[in-house]
Structure formats: C-alpha cells, structure tokens
Structure 1
Amino acid sequence: MSTRHRAQRRTSAVLTIVLGAGIALAGCTPIVSLQPAADANDPGCAEVSVRLPDSVAGKAERQTDAQATGAWGDPTSVLLRCGVPPIGPTTKPCVSVNGVDWVLMTDPDAKTIVYQTFGRTPATEVVIDHVSGVSDSAVLPEFASAIQTITQTSKCLSTLDTSLTPTPTPTPTPTP
C-alpha cells in the first residue's frame, strides 16, 4: 500500500470519527423548538441575537430553531424571544436591572415567570423556569448588554415611584 493511500485512509478515518462524535454530541442536546415573535425580523433583534451570552445563570446556551430566540439549560431553564409587541403604560410591577426596564408579566409566585422589556421597540421577553432553581436576579443582568443595543424611548415607573396623594395647590396669600 502506498504512503499516499495510507494517508487518505487515515484522513478518512479521522473524519469519520469527528463526524460521528459531532452527531453523537448533537443528539445529547436537541434543538429547542420555539415560535418566533411577530417582529423577530426587526434589525434590532439581529443586534440582540448576536450579543446573547454563551451562558445564563450558569446554564449553557442551546440551539433554537426560530429567529431572534435563545435558550439556556438542559432541561431548558431560560428562554428569550425578541420582537414581541411592546407594552404601553401598565400597573404591573417594573424593575430596572443594569439599565434595562423589565415588566413582570406573570404572577410573581408562578413556577414560570415572564418578563418583558419596557420602552424598547422591538420588545424582548424572557421566560424563567423557577422549578429549575434559576433566579430572576441571576438571569436578567445577563441580557443587559444585548438589550441595550435597542434604544430605550421611555422609562417604566414602579408603583413605589408614583405618588397617589395629590400635590397640594398653593393658596394665595392676601396682600395688605
């Protein structure tokens, strides 16, 4: 057998092993199937998508099958979708984390929590599975640099920031 023929067989064997390992590893973490948001094709979502972190709250990123989405953890603990319709003024709880305003869209005691950005178009939603042991405070800061690529046009106010008591009207004092 010639040296060239042995080198070709060796190369072929190495490629077979590498491809086999790739297929085996791909089978360990299947693609996360998600529905893209209505405005997932907005250029702002492209900016967010390329800046998503490799891990969130210690959970590794997973591949998704929808534009402008992200998933972390196996089983999945955190999901992200960019391009959801923005919300207007709301009485739902709002929190600012690293310069990004988030509105809590679900019951805070639910097993799965949904946050949505406020004052940014397109808006982004993040779903956090509390059953997996991941906390909001470990997740939301991870997305700040990606979300901040979309300009914030308005701020949300916590109900603690607004006054429910009327501002007193000054009474004119008579002059002598």
Structure 2
Amino acid sequence: MPAARFLAASTAAVLTVVALAGCARTIGVEAAPHAADPKCAEVMLAVPDELGGDLPKVPTDSQATAAWGEPGGAVTMRCGVAQLGPSADCQHVDSGDGTAVDWIVTTDDKGTWSFVTYGREPAVEVVVPPAVTEDHSTSFIADLASAVTQVPATKECQ
C-alpha cells in the first residue's frame, strides 16, 4: 500500500501545481526587436518584485519583458527597444540610493506614459497606462534604476 499512497500523493501534488499555474495572471507584452541582447538578461534578473509599494510583479509571455499590476492596467517593461536620440523630454531620475537613470518621458493623448532609457544600449522601455496613473504617481520609475543600470550609460541628458 505505501506505493499506492505515494502515487496518490504525487498525483495530487501534480494536479495542485497544474491548477495553480492555470490561475496565474500572464500579461501579454510584445518582445522588443533586440530582446535577445545578453544585457537584457541582466536587466531582467535585476527587476524588482514590486513597484511603488503595491504593484506586484506578474508573469509576462515574451522574452526580456516584465509587468507589474493587473491585466488591462499593468506597468510593462521591455528591454531591447531602439535607443532614442537627444530630446527635450529627457529627464534625470535619481533613485535615492545614488543610482540615477536618464529617461525620455512622453505621454500620449490617451494619458499613457512612456519612459525610454537614454544613453543605454540596448534601451529599456516602460509603459504606464492611465489605469495605473489614476491611483499612482509615476515616481515608481525610480524603483527600476538598479535593473536598468545593468546596461552602462554612454550618454546623459543635456
């Protein structure tokens, strides 16, 4: 009978894992053109488990991507986007721990914020939808400094 109990316990454990995996919220994020760059792997390994104190990291479905929040209202991040040129929209953001990142910051007519690292290749893009900015400021962008600084800066905002 011990073999039967082991088999039953093993089957129950497998079914539990499968059931829990089915409940995981996965956010669809399109991979960036240069997502396979080895530096992106370093960035992804350093992303925080939470943004802004209450946006938990959730699974994504593409390489070199991350997301925090809920489907339909998640902050998304992609490593490997094209580097942007100099812009008046460039902002120097200090994380408070001595780490700083320059970002090109834009917003569209729907209220979606976009942050793209400046002076780092590959570049990292963070998109913040209006559903997030209704209840949060975008200051949590500083929480990503330790991750995006895995790609060394070669230029700074002017």
> TM-score, with normalisation over the residues of structure 2?
0.84
Task: Give per-residue Cα distances to partners, 1:124-167, cap 9 Å, x unaligned.
Answer: 00011232323211x2122111111111011113xxxxxxxxxx
Cα gap change, 1:70 to 1:17, in 2 (>3 Å) = same
Report the count of equivalent residues. 150
Task: Give per-residue Cα distances to partners, 1:14-58, cap 9 Å, x unaligned.
Answer: 222222222222222232222111111111111101111122222
> TM-score, with normalisation over the residues of structure 1?
0.76
RMSD: 1.8
On the 8 A contact 2:90/2:102 being kept in 1, the answer is no
Larger radius of gyration: 1
Alpha-carbon distance in structure 2 between the residues aligned to 1:117 and 1:55? 20
Counterpart position of 1:136: 138
Please state how far the C-alpha of 1:118 moved relative to its aligned partner.
Answer: 0.6
Counterpart position of 2:153: 152
Q: Where do residues 28-107 of structure 1 align in structure 2 (5 Å cutoff)?
A: 28-57=23-52, 58-75=54-71, 76-98=73-95, 99-107=100-108
Three-state SS of the structure 1 residue aligned to 2:31 is coil
Q: 1 or 2 for the larger relative contact order (CA 8 Å, sep ≥6)?
A: 2
On the 8 A contact 1:95/1:103 being kept in 2, the answer is no
Note the residue ranges of structure 1 that are not aligned, 5 or more in a row: 1-5, 158-176
Three-state SS of the structure 2 residue aligned to 1:27 is helix
Alpha-carbon distance in structure 1 between the residues aligned to 2:7 and 2:103? 52
Please state how far the C-alpha of 1:114 moved relative to its aligned partner.
Answer: 1.0
Task: Give per-residue Cα distances to partners, 1:105-128, cap 9 Å, x unaligned.
Answer: 224x74321111111011000011
